[in-house]
Amino acid sequence: MSAVSFLAIDPLLEGDFLWTPLLIVLVKVLVVFVVGLVATMLMVWFERKAIAGMQNRVGPNKAGPFGLLQTLADGIKLFFKEDLLPERADKFVFRLAPYLSFVPAFLAFAIIPLGGDFRDGNGGLVTWFGQTTRVQLADPPVGVLFALAISSIAVYGIMLAGWSSGSKYPLLGSVRASAQMVSYEASLGLSLAAVILVCGTLSTSGIVNAQSSLGSWNLVATGVVPFLIFLVSATAELNRPPFDLVEAEQELVGGFNTEYSSIRFALFFLAEFMNTITMSALIVTLFFGGPQPITIGGTSLDIPLVPNGLEGTVWLLLKVLVFLYIYVWFRGTLPRFRYDQLMDLGWKFLIPASLGWFMLLAGQRLADDREWDQWIVMPLSLAVITLAFAMMQLAFRASDRNREAEGVQF
């Protein structure tokens, strides 16, 4: 059984083969898939409604109560539209690309702890039908690295969609997208490294378990900076405003998906919103304790009328909603970045900043282990980081001067 034993961190899968665990896993897969789809549908509605509110419009209000069924109606419409295949397209890759962006969006959702009882050192375990398990589809020991790997695979969908369309604008859009996603993946990974350093584990349930009180939430434990870097990089990784240069309508017609229509277009659309939800859930898991209740000084807030087993899910939902609103808010208020600003922010600021902060945290922990005096170590590390930052700025200024001397204009 060594091939599957790395899954055995979920106590459900230990021991002999039984039908009940298999059924529970199947039900979990189904629930995660359906919840993902329904949440995406509601997210589209939420985004349109909230944006409409910010712009003094009404938004969708005809289909169903409060226009809730608008997305369903749009989906059905897209299903029945004609499926166009451009003459100059690369047929196979053109058909493959939507799935390459849709499937990763769902895969990443599998490692997010969706609930469970994390209080009193319970570790998020719940008992269903006499089986102890986690409220999470999979809990691999490589946890968050899986999410990173999945988000790097998601680049393929967008890149190949643009290339295989066989026309100029989609190609430009997808070249922009892949450059952007590859650049911001670096700072995403580096800010995530700070979380891993503080928690000492890669598994998502382990990370949630380490954040048992408000003070030990990674937001506080890693010192806010990695969270801010992660939020900005995640927004860029999702290609959402203000980083939506991928589909800048004024410049690119529609971006990588210009040539797509019907259900294939719907798959891209679905993947985009699904990714937003997954990324929000990941932020909550990494920095805000996931399904952990808000605990101050040993007493945790209790939601009345909700049984303990479900309370984690309610907390997760509330926290994720905050971030979903923040993403909509970004879209409603922030103007789009220019391309060189985007690259400057990523390479010249976010990556060095996340690396510097990671070194600072590592230094602090090393000093802790060796029992060095923190009052000497911290100022010293800060001085080194400031020096490195100043030298970097000098290098940037020198290269800017060289460019100006060459007559390159920006």
Partner 1 sequence: MVAQNIAFGIVAAVMVWGALRVVTVNNVVHAALWLVLVLAGAAAQYVILAAEFVAITQVLVYIGAVMVLFLFGTMLTRARIGAERELNNKSWWLGVPSSVLLLGVITLALVSGFGDEELPKDAAVVSTQEISDLIFGPYLLPFWALSFVLLVAVIGAIVLARKD
Q: Which residue has the tokens 């997010």?
A: 112
Q: State how far the Cα of 144 lies from the Cα of 207, in Å rounded to an integer.
A: 9
In the chain, count H helices and then E strands.
Answer: 14, 4
Task: Please report how close the Cβ of residue 124 comes to partner 1 at its closest, in angstroms.
Answer: 20
Binding segment for partner 1 (CB under 8 A), chosen from 42-50, 160-168, 284-292, 318-326, is 160-168
Q: Does 62 bind partner 1 (CB under 8 A)?
A: no
Which segment (53-61, 166-174, 211-219, 230-238) binds partner 1 by CB under 8 A?
Answer: 166-174
- Return d(Cα 73, Cα 52) in angstroms, integer: 19
In whole angstroms, give the CA distance from residue 236 to residue 326.
14
Distance of alpha carbon 314 from alpha carbon 290, whole angstroms: 10
Our CA dihedral for 388, 394, 398, 399, rounded to 10 degrees, sits at: 50
- What residues have CB less than 8 Å from 214, skipping those under 6 apart? 220, 294, 295, 296
Residues 65-104: x where in contact with partner 1 by CB under 8 A, - otherwise, as a string = -----------------------xxx--x-----------
Tokens 């004024």, residue located: 250
d(CA 213, CA 311): 16
What DSSP state is assigned to residue 257? G
What is the bridge-based pairing of β-strands 295-296 and 299-300?
A: antiparallel
Q: Restricting to residues 196-225, which ones interact with partner 1 according to CB under 8 A?
A: 202
Q: Is 352 in the site for partner 1 (CB under 8 A)?
A: no
Q: Residue 370, interface with partner 1 (CB under 8 A)?
A: no
Under rule CB under 8 A, residue 126 binds partner 1: no
Binding segment (CB under 8 A) for partner 1, from list 61-69, 136-144, 315-323, 344-352:
136-144
Q: Does 406 bind partner 1 (CB under 8 A)?
A: yes
160 or 345: whose CB is closer to partner 1?
A: 160
Phi, psi of 175 (to 5 degrees): -65, -45
Q: Is residue 1 at the binding interface for partner 1, with CB under 8 A as the rule?
A: yes
Between 185 and 247, whose beta carbon lies closer to partner 1? Answer: 185
Min dist. Cβ of residue 151 to partner 1 (A): 8
Among the listed residues 204, 246, 188, the one whose alpha carbon sits nearest the alpha carbon of residue 116: 204
Minimum distance, C-beta of residue 173 to partner 1, in the bound complex (Å): 12
Q: Which residues bind partner 1 (CB under 8 A)?
A: 1-3, 5-6, 88-90, 93, 140-142, 145-146, 148-149, 152-153, 155-156, 159-160, 162-164, 166, 171, 174-175, 178-179, 182, 185, 202, 402, 406
